[in-house]
Amino acid sequence: MLLLCHALAIAVVQIVIFSESWAFAKNINFYNVRPPLDPTPFPNSFKCFTCENAGDNYNCNRWAEDKWCPQNTQYCLTVHHFTSHGRSTSITKKCASRSECHFVGCHHSRDSEHTECRSCCEGMICNVELPTNHTNAVFAVMHAQRTSGSSAPTLYLPVLAWVFVLPLL
C-alpha cells in the first residue's frame, strides 16, 4: 500500500512538472521576441519614439532619442497637430502614464482651423504612425498578454494539493 502511494505521488509530481513546462511554452509570444540589443533596466521595460514639436513624422522618428521609458509609464503617446489641408504643424511623441492616455481622439479647434489628434499604444516603439482621424486616434493596448500568465498557476494548484494529501492516505 505504501509502495502504491509512493508510485502515485511520483506520477502526480511528473504531471505537475509536465503541466508546468507546458504552461511555460504556452506563454511565449513569438510575435514579441526580439534579440536583446542592450540589457533592460527593469521587467516590462520598453521604448517610445520621442520628439517635441517636430515638423513632420519622418524627422520625429529619425531623430527620436533611443532610451528606455521611465518605470512610471506604460504607453507611448503621440500628439499630432495639423491644418485643414492635412499638413502637419506639430508632432510630439513620448512615454506616457495611463492618465496621460485618458484623452485620445481628434479635436477640431474652429478659431485656429487646426485639428489635434492624440493616440496611445502599448509595446516596444509602437508609436510609429501619426493619428489623423477617429479610426487611428485610439488607445491601442495589447491583448492576451500577462492575463494568460496569471491564470496558469491556478490550474495546477489542485494537483499540487494532491501531492501533499496522497502520502497521508
Ligand X SMILES: *[C@@H]1O[C@H](CO)[C@@H](O)[C@H](O)[C@H]1NC(C)=O
List of residues contacting ligand X (CB under 6 A) = 132-133, 135-136
Nearer to ligand X by Cβ, of 138 and 163: the residue is: 138
Q: How far is the CB of 47 from ligand X (least distance, A)?
A: 24
Q: How far is the CB of 135 from ligand X (least distance, A)?
A: 4
Nearer to ligand X by Cβ, of 50 and 57: the residue is: 57
Q: Burial level of 105, CB count in 10 A (0-12/13-18/19+)?
A: middle
Please compute, for residue 87, the number of CA atoms within 13 A of its CA located in the half-sphere on the CB side.
4
Q: How far is the CB of 117 from ligand X (least distance, A)?
A: 10
Nearer to ligand X by Cβ, of 45 and 132: the residue is: 132
H or E stretch covering 102: none
Q: Which residues pair with 76 in a beta bridge?
A: 95, 121
Nearer to ligand X by Cβ, of 64 and 137: the residue is: 137
CA-to-CA distance for 85 and 93, rounded, in angstroms?
Answer: 22
In the complex, which residue's CB is closest to ligand X? Answer: 133
Q: Spell 72-84 as b/e; 16+ CB within 10 A means b.
A: ebbbbbbbbbbee
Q: How far is the CB of 93 from ligand X (least distance, A)?
A: 17
